[in-house]
Structure 1
Amino acid sequence: MEIIELDPADGDLVSGAYDVMVASHKADHPENPAPHRGSFVAGLSYPPPDQDEAHFVAVEDGRVVATMGIGLPNRSNLHFGWAWGSVHPEHRRKGIGSALLEHFIAYAREHGRTELTLDTHMAWENGVERAKAGRSFLEKHGFKLALTTINRSCAVDALAADTEQALLDKARAAAGDDYEIISWIGRTPEELVETMARIDSTILAEVPLGDLELEPETIDAELKRAKQDRTEAMGLKVVQTVARYRGSGEVVANTCVFLHDDGEFPDAYQGITIVDKDHRGHRLGLLLKLENLRLLRENFPHLRAIWTDNADVNAPMIDINVTLGYEIVDANGEFLRKFEA
């Protein structure tokens, strides 16, 4: 077995890596959205502007039997590194996963990283049962659970029309006239780029991170535009709604949904929803998600479900999602291992 860095131009290896992802998805968590080939392939050539990425495949007898991606932040959190990996179900229990994990650790350590994470699907409450092999594997290699997020899905028409309208009316009344609600599809309007960069910079300071020690990233207009370039390159569309406070002209609340530019793919992904701490208590989170949901339905009728995850301790956002009809599917455990500098 040989571990090879994946060249995006090597069509055979890329196809092999994608096939491993599909087989692993079918075996491990078929209820979740399937991998999307177009986004995966494009993402290999367009890494995030604030992160260095490397991708590897394990090859045995000329066949790709496992794949792994590594991400290393390059602007802040330079102590941190993460990876994801999949071993084809037919090639498990042969030491391939352990070899990939050792490769990840060596690669990250060579780049000065001292805190490394990997994640795995886990069962949660009345959701789908999940195998415990992933957790056992990580714990065997010295990784400890640092953050649990609950994975939920919601049909785009989960609420009865009158129920949805009543929720929207109450949220609009709670927000009052102090906020301007602005929605769009695609890139952020240029006049909002600066204020959107400001609120994006608060995300890591506001969301629960468990035992992960991550500092907020300062996002400027240049980085904001570069992130949008990558989103477009990967064939993703963004449906976004924000609240702009009339008193300052600043965006103080934001929600967005990502979807593949593919009329055959029925799933969309809820992005971050955040409300500035000085503007909470006005039902802005619920208001924006309802407005955004309507925009999504009107423009993308092929969509059937939206998927989201929230830290298990993020009660306010979980309450909103339950109100909207989100139901538990499973959980995601992020496991951490620390090294000496």
Structure 2
Amino acid sequence: MSNLEILELDPADGDLVSGAFEVLRASHAADHPDNPAPHEGKFAKGLIHPTPGEEEHTFIAVKDGTVVGIAEIGLPMRENLHFGWASIHVRPDRRRQGAGAALLDHFIAFTRGRGRTELTLDTLMTWEDGVARDKAGQEFLEKRGFKLALTSINRRCAVDALDADTEQRLLEKAQSAAGDDYEIVSWLGRTPEELVETMARIDSTILAEVPLGDLDLQPETIDAELKNAKADRNEAMGVIPIQTVARHRASGEVVANTAVFAYDDTEYEDAFQGITIVDKEHRGHRLGLLLKLVNLRLVRENFPQVRAIWTDNADVNAPMIDINVMLGYEIVDAMGEYQIKFAE
């Protein structure tokens, strides 16, 4: 592809940032319009405020002054220093002209130059009776030596999927199973200062608990400083966590946690379910279901514009999938995380 340049995106270059976002917008419209649209404000602000604990880079493919492709790259900087990930998109009208291959080559060279030996890229997949997705992304990665390492099922739930009586009955059953040993605490936005330490502890268990397929990832150590830095980033990007936790009365520790993330944008109708986790010693009390139901009501009360909540779960995560199906989540498609490994 002649005249093709690969450039690192400067967050201060408004025209190129707009061009890069247009690639994401057009790719979404062509490939998966049923899924939540990319949010321009979050994208632009995310370039200025990278994820704490990660080195992030965005590269663009430019031909004749037009942005035709984008590669968003992340490198963990605290743990998992062998790992690197990317997401690559090419404008639908500029595909099969070399931009995707050039961005992939750049991703590999860039991350290998920083000592990374395990790299992943994601691509859409069809799942069961969900929406049919083009296999071009899978075939492209497989041809380049990548292998499927983890499949996550993407589900959507209307905020009013359950009728009021069913929702109340499920809530009361979960409250009964939880008993009096737990205090249920909810908030919007930043974690209250008195809960930061205990929340950092439970956040540090996430990668040890969620299914990771063939990915070789070690648990992250989240401390109060990192947790507060992530809260700063959310505030800067207009991302608002809606969070509900169960605090064990006897120990004072948070032992279960769920969060939904919405945007500070009254026009945006989608919100995103984050990880729901329950400490091993406190499972069997329906805490996961209880927290998700309480949190669902918070979303409806505080974000009337939100019509749907989206979640993804590893295809083997049966307990969480069962809860989501009970709440009314329906399959849309899946995301395949493809991996390639290099010798050290």
Task: Determine the structure 1 residue equivalent to 2:99.
Answer: 96
Is residue 230 of structure 2 the alignment partner of residue 227 of structure 1? yes
Of 317, 322, 326, 2:325 maps to 322
Secondary structure of the structure 2 residue equivalent to 1:287: helix
Task: List, as ranges, runs of 4+ consecutive aligned residues in structure 1 with deviation greater than 2 Å.
Answer: none
In percent, how many aligned pairs have the same letter? Answer: 74
What letter matches 1:70 in structure 2? I
Secondary structure of the structure 2 residue equivalent to 1:86: strand
Runs (5+) with no aligned partner, structure 1: none
Is residue 158 of structure 2 the alignment partner of residue 165 of structure 1? no
Task: Quote the Cα distance in structure 2 between the aligned partners of 1:136 and 1:271.
Answer: 29
Task: Quote the Cα distance in structure 2 between the aligned partners of 1:58 and 1:296.
Answer: 38
Secondary structure of the structure 2 residue equivalent to 1:288: helix
Report Cα offsets for 1:99-133 as digits up to 9, x if no partner.
Answer: 10000000000000000000001000010000000
Secondary structure of the structure 1 residue equivalent to 2:60: strand
Secondary structure of the structure 2 residue equivalent to 1:247: coil
Of 277, 280, 284, 1:277 maps to 280
Task: Quote the Cα distance in structure 2 between the aligned partners of 1:163 and 1:216.
Answer: 37
Task: Quote the Cα distance in structure 1 between the aligned partners of 2:236 and 2:86.
Answer: 22
Secondary structure of the structure 1 residue equivalent to 2:230: helix
Secondary structure of the structure 1 residue equivalent to 2:268: coil
What letter matches 1:174 in structure 2? A
Task: Determine the structure 2 residue equivalent to 1:258.
Answer: 261
Q: CA RMSD in A?
A: 0.4
How far apart are 1:95 and its partner, in Å? Answer: 1.3
1:26-175 alignment runs, 5 A limit: 26-175=29-178
Secondary structure of the structure 1 residue equivalent to 2:19: helix
Task: Quote the Cα distance in structure 2 between the aligned partners of 1:94 and 1:48.
Answer: 32
Task: Quote the Cα distance in structure 1 between the aligned partners of 2:336 and 2:260.
Answer: 23
Secondary structure of the structure 2 residue equivalent to 1:187: coil
Task: Quote the Cα distance in structure 2 between the aligned partners of 1:20 and 1:97.
Answer: 12
Task: Determine the structure 1 residue equivalent to 2:243.
Answer: 240
What letter matches 1:115 in structure 2? E
Task: Quote the Cα distance in structure 1 between the aligned partners of 2:98 and 2:322.
Answer: 42
Secondary structure of the structure 2 residue equivalent to 1:170: helix
Of 299, 303, 310, 1:300 maps to 303
| TM-score with structure 2 setting the length | 0.99
What letter matches 1:7 in structure 2? D
Task: Quote the Cα distance in structure 2 between the aligned partners of 1:114 and 1:68.
Answer: 18
Task: Quote the Cα distance in structure 2 between the aligned partners of 1:278 and 1:258.
Answer: 27
Secondary structure of the structure 1 residue equivalent to 2:334: strand
Is residue 210 of structure 2 the alignment partner of residue 207 of structure 1? yes
How far apart are 1:149 and its partner, in Å? Answer: 0.4
How far apart are 1:300 and its partner, in Å? Answer: 0.9
How far apart are 1:243 and its partner, in Å? Answer: 0.1
Report Cα offsets for 1:316-339 as digits up to 9, x if no partner.
Answer: 000000000000000000000000
How far apart are 1:85 and its partner, in Å? Answer: 1.1
Report Cα offsets for 1:70-104 as digits up to 9, x if no partner.
Answer: 10000000000000111000100111111100000
Runs (5+) with no aligned partner, structure 2: none
Report Cα offsets for 1:143-165 as digits up to 9, x if no partner.
Answer: 00000000000000000000000
Task: Determine the structure 1 residue equivalent to 2:334.
Answer: 331
